[in-house]
Amino acid sequence: MPFVPRRRPTPAPPTRHHRRGIALAAAGSLALTLAATVPSVAADTTTLSGELVRVSNDVQPTLPGEVHGEEFLIETPAGQLVPVDLPAAYTDFDAGTTIVASVSAPDAEGTRDVLSATLTEPGTDVAAAVTSQPASAHHAYVVVIADATIGGDITTAQADQMTTAAADYWVREAKGAISSFDIAARATLVLDGSCASNYASLWQRAGALFPGVSFSNGNHLIVYSPSGCTTYPYIGIAAVGGSLASGGRVQIADGPYWSTVAHELGHNVSLGHADLEYVTPTTAPVIGEYFGAFGPMSARIGSYTPATLEAGFQEQLLLPGRDLRRTTLPWTAQPTTTVHTLSPSTSLTGVTSVEFTDPANGARYFVEYRAGAGADAGTFYTTGGTLSASGRVSVYSPGVHVTRVDGSELTTLSSFDGIRYRATHAAGTTFAATPNRFSVAVTALSPSSATVAITVGKDARVPSVTALSNPNVRYGARLTGRVSVQGVPDGGVVDVFSGATKLASVTLTGGSAAWTGPVKAPGTYPVTASYLGSTTHLPSSATGSVTVDKAVTTPTVLAPNVPYGATPRVTVIVGSPTGVATATGTVDLYRGATKLTTLTLVAGRATWNGPVWASGSYAVSAKYLGSATHQASTSATVPFSVTPYQPGRGSLRGKF
């Protein structure tokens, strides 16, 4: 099968594409003015404002001089899509950033130069916010182009098949974070000479076929160009979103291959590319972009479908349950080896990945087992096939897969056997990182598991000291406390646990932070505060306990006077603090020191109807016996009178 990279396959030095983020406070702005690099006059400039959109241009390798690059456009409040050439000083931004820009007149392709601009970052971390959202429904708005001047129109049936297959892939791989992904609407764009239209123009025309639809928040516009449009310098292009909840626009110029659609949808939901690192003991690392040929963000390889999503990309998308299937290793002060049994990456049970972070550079690494079965059966890596780039031959087969997260991109770490670069690692082999910071020794492989010994190395960060203080609380109130970590910079994170249950996660300011946890039943609970560390300071922890006391109760006795011969009626109400559940259990009712009866509370109260008492004055009180959540208590003594018998006004019925 042919290998079809989405950009030039020649490995280049490892220039990484990081998750963007201008170093500003939330909702801050960056203003920078640059001189125009081409002659212009005032009449040729205009001001544009709107959302700044990053576009991933997946270039075909057959066109000379073309390399993968990012393009940019401004989406104005009126919905106009304007391609712009953005100076490098502006290119490090997050999804949702807005721009006010002075731009030149459009060139022959409709692209304008940004001469100066002010960028405003979104006030919310889009990727983090998705964790608080329920499972989202995604919708595809599918447009096929009918062009009488070129062959290879994609039919509606073909577009439906590709879209549905790609959508089903993402529903499966999102593990519940995407509740559904349907085709919401279809349309045909009749456009002769469409191959001369750039992506922004096609998106503008296609989007107009769905009035009122915003292509964000799970809405995806997918435009299928005729396969005869071979002049496009890409096989797919997509707007890059900020999280799994994002939507976006896509253009497909690659014929009937749903893997390309899945790839471009991956950009819509914030993912970068899957690459391969070539390294030998005597050479510097070189990155082969698109050559991490496992999940959807690599190149398309013939008609092979993508394997399951890599663990590093699952972490980037904050998929539910990922932490339950992952073991996280601490980086130790001296080389430390731990042994792990991995279930296949396709498994929904067991540990499927091991993750650790090198504090020297902040890089995150993932180790997982690609067994080649289940959802991965029939994918490219199961064949033992090879790919070539600039004389470098890489081999793909089932085995242990080691990856590094590089911002929004993910890089497979290969090992060199003297002839070829192996993208996975077989039983009896050891992958050693360069420089020698960690190693992964594969001791055994079977269809159901892999056994690996992972060694991580020395850490030069400064030790930290964590302290914890926890005041006692009453039942009904949330757990509270304060953590402090000596000498660390602001922004550090401390997780607070009781056993295996996370109570809170807080960010340090001035070396301390208050934490608030859930409401707990009365009792004493162990508490551990774990500072997660930073690039300069080691993690540390402190232990303590917090006691939840029972809720205070206030019994009240209501005993209205009665005439002799009437049945006495005594009501006991056991009050609880505001916001606390009503008391349950029993109360003992007393006349003086004599216990009259035991009553069961219903909705915090109980009533006793006693026998007739002799006339006279009495003292009545109640003792609440307490419960698992409420303290025992005694009411105040309440006077109670039975007025004397008066002949002619009743009959003598008894005497107490």
Q: What is the pLDDT of residues 587-600, one digit of tens each?
A: 999 999 999 999 99
Are 119 and 21 in contact, with CB atoms under 8 Å apart?
no
Position 196: which residue type? A
pLDDT value, residue 1: 41
pLDDT value, residue 134: 57
Spatial neighbors of 487 by CB under 8 A, at least 6 apart, are: 462, 464, 465, 511, 537
Q: Which residues of 130-161 are buried (b: 16+ CB within 10 A; e: fewer)?
A: beeeeebebbbbbbbbebeebeebbeeebbee
Q: What is the pLDDT of residues 272-294, one digit of tens each?
A: 999 999 987 667 889 988 999 99
Quick one: which of 480, 525, 543 has its CA closest to 506? Answer: 480
Between the CA atoms of 421, 424, 428 and 430, what dihedral angle is there, to the nearest 10 degrees?
70
Which residue would you say has higher pLDDT here, 17 or 431? 431
Question: Looking at the chain, how many residues does it have?
Answer: 656
pLDDT value, residue 455: 87
- Distance, CA of 112 to CA of 57 (rounded, Å): 17
- Distance, CA of 477 to CA of 519 (rounded, Å): 6
Instruction: Say how many C-beta atoms besides its own lie within 10 A of residue 471's C-beta.
Output: 10
pLDDT value, residue 64: 28
Which residue would you say has higher pLDDT here, 143 or 24? 143
- Strand, helix or coil at 615? coil
Query: Helix, strand, coil: what percent of the chain each, to 5?
Result: 10, 40, 45
Q: What percent of the chain has pLDDT over 70?
A: 86
- Strand, helix or coil at 460? coil
Mean pLDDT for 554-560 is: 94
Quick one: which of 265, 196, 254, 263 has its CA closest to 224? Answer: 254
- What confidence category does residue 20 fall into, taking pLDDT thresholds of 50, 70 and 90? very low
Are 167 and 142 in contact, with CB atoms under 8 Å apart?
no
Q: What is the pLDDT of residues 61-71, one digit of tens each?
A: 433 233 457 89
- Strand, helix or coil at 354? strand
Give the range with max mean pLDDT: 201-210, 525-534, 574-583.
201-210
Are 494 and 485 in contact, with CB atoms under 8 Å apart?
yes
- What confidence category does residue 28 fall into, taking pLDDT thresholds of 50, 70 and 90? very low
pLDDT value, residue 458: 62
Q: What percent of the chain has pLDDT over 90?
A: 66
Q: Identify the helix (H) or strand (E) that includes residue 204.
A: helix 199-207
- What confidence category does residue 423 fall into, taking pLDDT thresholds of 50, 70 and 90? very high
Are 139 and 182 in contact, with CB atoms under 8 Å apart?
yes
Quick one: which of 534, 523, 359 has its CA closest to 456? Answer: 359
In order of their start, the domains of the chain are: 1-17+272-460 (no CATH), 29-123 (2.40.50), 466-549 (2.60.40.10), 554-643 (2.60.40.10)
Whether pLDDT at 12 is above 90: no
Which residue would you say has higher pLDDT here, 17 or 434? 434
pLDDT value, residue 326: 95
pTM over 0.95? The answer is no
Q: What is the pLDDT of residues 454-482, one digit of tens each?
A: 988 765 456 788 999 988 899 988 999 99
Whether pLDDT at 26 is above 70: no
Mean pLDDT of the chain: 86
Which residue would you say has higher pLDDT here, 560 or 647? 560
pLDDT value, residue 462: 61
Tell me the C-alpha to C-alpha distance, in Å, between residue 326 and each of 68, 309, 344, 354.
Answer: 33, 14, 12, 6
Which residue would you say has higher pLDDT here, 138 or 577? 138
Q: Identify the helix (H) or strand (E) that includes residue 267.
A: helix 258-268
Least confidently predicted of 135-144, 307-316, 435-444 = 435-444
Counting beta carbons within 10 angstroms of the beta carbon of residue 595, is it exposed (0 to 12), middle (13 to 18) or buried (19 or more)? exposed
Supply the DSSP symbol for 44: G
Mean pLDDT for 613-623 is: 92
pLDDT value, residue 367: 98
Q: What is the pLDDT of residues 331-377, one digit of tens each?
A: 887 888 899 999 999 999 999 999 999 888 889 999 999 999 999 99
Cis amide bond preceding 435, omega within 30: yes
